[in-house]
A = this chain, B = another copy of it.
Amino acid sequence: MDEQAEAKRATVHDVARTAGVSLATVDRVLNARPGVRPETAEKVENAIKALDFRRDLSASLLARARDLRVTFLIPDGGNAFMESLVGAIARRVRQTRNERLTLAASQYHALDPAALISRLDALNGRETDCAVIVAPDDPAVVKAVDAATRRGVAIITLVSDLPGSARRHFIGIDNQAAGRTAASLLGRFCTAPGKVGIIAGSLGLRDHRERFEGFAGVLGREFQHLSIVGPTEGFDDDVQTEAAALKLLSEHKDLTGIYNLGAGNAGLVAALGKTHRAGNIRVVSHELSDTTRGALRAGTLDVVLDQNPDGEIRAAIAAARQVALSPDAEIHSDPIEIGIFLRDNLR
């Protein structure tokens, strides 16, 4: 089987000729400028469809003599995963310097919707084409997203979605599947009957709720020799997570497994070490970091599920380009896969 290149691509000139209108009119339609009668616009749309015309991104960005400007809004506050997202953005900046792309990363005070909202309100379509946000599922945030969209800034949600908002796209993993996967691994690792403790960041967070649901479903259905203790909340914080883990460990001597579906892994590792249970309990947690890598190597953690921050940033940028290309068309993006890391396939 050989696939050959298709014939020459259609240009705006071809569209104009086919539609029987001038270049200027095609341009008005393509860039949603006023001054075109609906029936004329339709002729153009039809020609575009007939020729399968797609605007040439290279030429387009070149002609407007400016970059595609993408702003990231990420929570701060020492959360290792969020920091790795910021790191991934910085890496992309280096790689995309010759691709007419300007990336700006900006952190807002975590767990503070008002801080995020004021950042969103400050965005406008003249300075920003697209904003990629990691946002809590809050009605006021949804409103701010809708308002920014009306000002011409396309919004893409990252990690945690905002269904019901005007956001153009969501980039993230299937958190239910992540929970199911954790249960499936822990269920097979813990062969003797016993208890499995669950630590969440906060059940107010959509992604954490979904992970727990997936986990509980699979464990209840397939691993009935294990029962669930919790979830208890660690608020994505090392100190509070350590306290939660210590409480679990002291109250349930027959604990054979732990699933930490939030952040705060350093606290969890510390608690396992202090109680001398590291290695005796099977532990699954989320997000690769220096802490979790070290704990995997030491055998304190057995599995780390990872949502691949570099992949998410790449996908977000690709989605932003699609938005720039055709503001209404549906966005296609490769699904972000859940990475499963053991000591043996650490990167």
Contact = CB atoms under 8 A, between A and B. Distances in A.
Contacts of A2: 104-107
Interface string A175-188: 00110110111001
Instruction: Quickly give the copy total for this chain.
Output: 2
A332 B107 contact: no
Interface in A289-335: 302, 308, 310-311, 314, 325, 332, 334-335
Interface in A172-202: 174, 177-178, 180-181, 183-185, 188-189, 191
A93 B3 contact: yes
A250 interface: no
A275 interface: no
Given A54-B97, A99-B58, A189-B188, A104 B5 contact: yes
B99 A57 contact: yes
B344 A183 contact: yes
Contact of A338 (B3, B97, B345): B345
Given A332-B95, A342-B181, A57 B58 contact: yes
A232 interface: no
A93 B56 CA distance: 15
A276 interface: no
Nearest to A326: B98
A311 B1 CA distance: 22
Interface string A52-79: 0011111101100001010000001000
A3 B343 contact: no
Chain A contact surface mostly: mixed
Interface string A36-59: 000000000000000000111111
Contacts of A302: 188
A343 B177 CA distance: 10
A314 B314 CA distance: 11
Contacts of A103: 3
Interface residues of A, number: 64
Contact of A58 (B61, B188, B344, B347): B61
A87 to B, nearest CB: 11
A9 B96 CA distance: 12
A311 B106 CA distance: 28
A4 B103 CA distance: 8
Nearest to A179: B344
A282 to B, nearest CB: 9
A2 to B, nearest CB: 5
Nearest 10 pairs between A and B by C-beta? A58-B58, A180-B344, A340-B340, A54-B98, A181-B345, A5-B102, A184-B344, A181-B344, A177-B345, A2-B106
Given A58-B62, A59-B62, 6 more contacts: A9-B97, A56-B98, A56-B100, A62-B62, A181-B345, A308-B337
21 contacts: A1-B86, A1-B107, A2-B104, A3-B103, A3-B104, A9-B97, A9-B98, A54-B98, A56-B62, A56-B100, A58-B58, A59-B62, A95-B332, A177-B345, A180-B344, A180-B345, A188-B189, A214-B344, A310-B334, A311-B334, A340-B342
